[in-house]
């Protein structure tokens, strides 16, 4: 959804059904936040909620990164003054 701020925002939800251990859930959230932080300048002012449907580890990071960039590219671009 578009937001009224001049920057994009992201929320991450990783449930216990996806990753049982808190360590796994926190890694997944940290990785997604880092990917979002790196891509933030290319995203218009939108609110995004990311909810992974599969658990992933450090070994899967390259795949997660490419999927994340593909999803970011699909976000609508809104007119804004940056």
Domain total in the chain: 1
**Residues spanned by the domain of 47:** 9-73
- Residue 81 is predicted with a pLDDT of 47
- 33 domain-assigned: yes
pLDDT tens, residue by residue, 56-67: 999 999 999 999
- Give the DSSP H or E segment for 26: helix 22-39
Give the domain CATH number at 59.
3.30.230.10
Degrees (nearest 5) of the Cα angle 25, 13, 40? 100
Residue 50 domain flag: yes
Q: Which of 2-16, 18-32, 43-57 has the highest mean predicted lDDT (pLDDT)?
A: 18-32
What's the pTM value of the predicted model, to 2 decimals?
Answer: 0.82
Residue 61 lies in a domain: yes
The two three-digit tokens of residue 8, written as one number: 């994009």
Helix (H/G/I), strand (E/B), else coil: 31:
helix
CA angle (65 as vertex; 37, 29 as ends), nearest 5: 60
Is 4 inside any structural domain? no
């Amino acid at each position: 959804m578009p937001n009224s701020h001049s920057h994009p925002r992201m929320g991450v939800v990783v449930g216990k059904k996806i990753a049982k251990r808190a360590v796994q859930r926190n890694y997944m959230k940290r990785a997604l936040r880092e990917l979002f932080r790196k891509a933030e300048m290319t995203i218009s002012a939108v609110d995004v909620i990311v909810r992974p449907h599969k658990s992933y580890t450090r070994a899967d990071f390259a795949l997660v990164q490419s999927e994340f960039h593909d999803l970011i590219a699909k976000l609508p671009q809104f007119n804004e003054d940056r």
